[in-house]
Amino acid sequence: MENFDLTLIDWSRAQFALTALYHWLFVPLTLGITFILAIMETIYYKTGDPEWKKITKFWMTLFGINFAIGVATGIILEFEFGTNWSNYSWFVGDIFGAPLAIEGIMAFFMESTFIAIMFFGWNKVSKGFHLTATWLTAIGSNLSALWILVANGWMQNPVGMQFNPDTARNEMVDFFEVLFNPAAVNKFLHTIFSSYILAAIFVVGISAWFLLKKKEILFAKRSIVVAAIFGLIFSVMTIFTGDESAREISKSQPMKFASMEGLYHGTTNAPLVAFGILKDAPTIENPEKKDFAFKVEIPGMLSYMANLKFDSFVPGIYDLVHGNVDQGIISYSEKINRGLVARNTLSEYKLALKGNDAVLIDSLRSNFENKEWMEGYFNYFGYSYFSNPHDIIPNVPITFYSFHIMVILGGYFMALFIIVLFFVMKDTLAGKRWLLWIALWTMPLGYLASESGWIIAEMGRQPWVIQDLMPTMTAVSNIDSNSVIITFWLFFAVFTALLIAEIKIMLKQIKIGPNEGGH
């Protein structure tokens, strides 16, 4: 690895991770509860039952508290691309900036416009118009997520671009290829569906508290029915989108895929680790060292997940680092060499431009206009910043455990919705105090599963900020590391204070209940 200010890199990463993790405490609830609100208000619109209006207004109040703080953390997150990651913004700003601009102009504008009508339009506009505003608020919040996840999906699988050697920047050439990038589509669907599950858990959990306190029984039962059905539907959808997302990752980010399963040595009929405890990773000196202290496997399932064939080959971490001739896998050492060719060619081109050497300029430019050369060399540009191939391996334990926590909890949530609905149908849920306590204490697990998903996405692709093209260490701004350290602790204090304030306000509103809080 070249000489970089590791302190600056680590603290810049830590600050961005801090902001992103705090931001994601608020976003998934916003994405999901808006649709639950829209469904509840639709029932009120159809039935005219004032109980449904009371229910809608109560959950709307909790949504508003959450939404306000989510916006604050999200704005800071976007500013950090300019303050801490300016080299990244320069290198791909023409591409990355487009979906973020659309998000601000179209989705956020739409969301912020109709949210005002949703909150303050009761008895001021017609029931139909108010219902429309509620649905448009839900759609707007999810459109915001779409454009942000399109940008993030492009970082995971860069497509629809062309490198301009004159400016040393990547430029968008196909907007729709960026928009319909398989990584972006799968990430968007899986993210919003899992957010719907979290919102359903939130509503079920708080409603369970009311039943435990024997308060607002009708309100709680109706809320649970809507949320549990909503959560169960999207639990099923999340399984399908998660499976498709994993298949896409196996193709565009095979190292992340291998890390998710702790697969060090590739094999055909590769088993899926349902549960396991990592031990010591194999090393160059001892490649056969045992990598699991304990594991439960499903034979062939990983091969099927990756390629829809049980007997297909799935490369492991060692195959990707050291290469596998039989499977046509290029080693990381070879990718480093190819990246160096691309980087040296760019350096020579810059010198030729400076020296106004027309013949050499045309000769070198032809490489950047040649599809085969770009695929064979420039696509590994980012590898040129590494000398040790093992520096390109992500943190396997964090990726592995985050993935399995997410999957196990996802299965648990589905089971919980089914059990809750079973007792709702028998009209015995209020008497099942053990189940109500489980539902209540499941709420923090919903946030744990949601955060784990983002840890997989971002830690699993390290050390890349743009897969294969730009390592994280080259993306940071050239600023004093002390300024990043100071702002990290300032953000930590502010975000923690905001989180504590939100929890206190929400708890107060929940204790007030839907009667007083709904008017």
Residue from 516, 402, 411, 419 nearest 454 by CA: 402
Give the residue carrying structure tokens 């971002």.
458
Q: What is the pLDDT of residue 490?
A: 93
Give the pLDDT band (50/70/90) at residue 287.
Answer: low
Q: Find, among 196, 228, 234, the residue nearest to 429 by Cα.
A: 228
pLDDT for 144 equals 87
Among the residue ranges 193-197, 394-398, 442-446, the one predicted with the least confidence is 394-398
Enclosing domain of residue 387: 264-393
Q: How far apart are CA 343 and CA 320, in angstroms?
A: 22
The answer to whether residues 212 and 320 belong to one domain is no
Torsion of CA 273, 277, 283, 289, to 10 degrees: -90
Tell me, yes or no, whether 331 and 426 share the same domain. Answer: no
Which residue type is seen at 288? E
Eight-class DSSP state of 270: P
- How far apart, in whole angstroms, are the C-alpha atoms of residue 224 and residue 230? 10
Same domain, 94 and 180: yes
Beta strands in 366-509 (DSSP E): 464-466, 470-471
Q: Are residues 233 and 273 in the same domain?
A: no
Average pLDDT in the 303-309 region? 91
Rounded Cα gap, residues 487 and 16, in angstroms: 11
Query: Are 459 and 331 contained in the same domain?
Result: no
d(CA 2, CA 474): 10
pLDDT tens for each residue of 146-195:
998 999 999 999 999 999 998 889 999 999 999 999 999 999 999 999 99
> Looking at the predicted structure, is the pLDDT value of residue 285 above 90?
no
Q: Between these two residues, 381 and 92, which has the higher pLDDT value? A: 381
Largest interatomic CA distance in the chain: 85
pLDDT at site 514: 87
Q: Is residue 5 a part of any domain in this protein?
A: no
Out of 393, 422, 455, a domain closes at 393
Place of tokens 């010198």: 351
How far is CA 193 from each of CA 36, 109, 199, 439, rounded to the nearest angstrom? 13, 23, 10, 19
- If asked whether residues 401 and 343 sit together in one domain, one would say no
Given a contact cutoff of 8 angstroms between Cβ atoms, the answer to whether 69 and 502 are in contact is yes
Our count of domains for the chain comes to 2
* Domain end among 372, 393, 414: 393
pLDDT at site 516: 46
Note the pLDDT tens digit of each residue in 480-502.
999 999 999 999 999 999 899 98
For residues 396 and 290, the model is more confident at: 396
The predicted structure's pLDDT at residue 518: 42
Interior/surface letters 143-152, b for 16+ CB within 10 angstroms, e for the rest: bbbbbbbbbb
Cross-strand pairs, 294 = 277
Using DSSP, state whether 30 is helix, strand or coil: helix
Lowest mean pLDDT among 105-119, 138-152, 296-310, 456-470: 105-119
Q: pTM score > 0.85 for this model?
A: yes
334 and 219 housed in the same domain: no
Same domain, 415 and 389: no
In the three-class reduction of DSSP (H, G, I as helix; E, B as strand; rest coil), residue 439 is classed as helix
Alpha-helix residue ranges (DSSP H) falling in 84-181: 86-102, 109-120, 127-156, 175-179
How much is the mean pLDDT over the chain? 90
Long-range contacts of 14-18 (CB under 8 A, 24+ apart): 14/488, 15/80, 15/84, 15/484, 15/487, 15/488, 15/491, 16/77, 16/80, 16/84, 16/85, 17/458, 18/488, 18/491, 18/492, 18/495
Give the DSSP per-residue string, 391-426.
GG---HHHHHHHHHHHHHHHHHHHHHHHHHHHHHHT
- For 394, 495, 510, the CA distances from 500, given in Å and listed in that order, are 33, 9, 15
Tokens of residue 424, six digits: 């709702």
The residue among 393, 424, 449 that closes a domain is 393
232 and 155, same structural domain? yes
Under 8 Å between Cβ of 398 and 451: no
Question: Residues 475, 499: one domain?
Answer: yes
Residue 3: inside a domain: no
231-260 confidence digits (pLDDT tens) = 999 999 999 999 999 999 999 999 999 999
Question: What percentage of the chain carries pLDDT values higher than 90?
Answer: 64
20-24, 39-43, 143-147, 278-282: the lowest-pLDDT one: 278-282
Tokens of 143: 């459109």
- Show the CA angle centred on residue 449, arms to residues 448 and 454, nearest 5°: 95
Q: What is the pLDDT of residues 96-106, one digit of tens each?
A: 888 888 887 77
Q: How many CB atoms lie within 10 A of CB 490?
A: 11
| Residues 91 and 211 occupy one common structural domain | yes
Instruction: Decide if 143 is inside a domain.
Output: yes
Q: Judge whether 52 lies within some domain.
A: yes
Report the run of H or E that residue 220 belongs to, with start and end: helix 217-252
Residue 264 neighbours by CB under 8 Å, 6+ apart: 258, 281, 282, 291, 316, 317, 318
Stated as kind and residue range, the H or E segment containing 169 is strand 169-172
DSSP assigned state of 330? P
Task: Name the 3-class secondary structure at 386.
Answer: coil
Is 60 exceeded by the pLDDT of residue 284? no
Note whether residue 198 is domain-resident. Answer: yes
Domain membership of residue 1 (yes or no) is no
- Is 111 found in the same domain as 64? yes
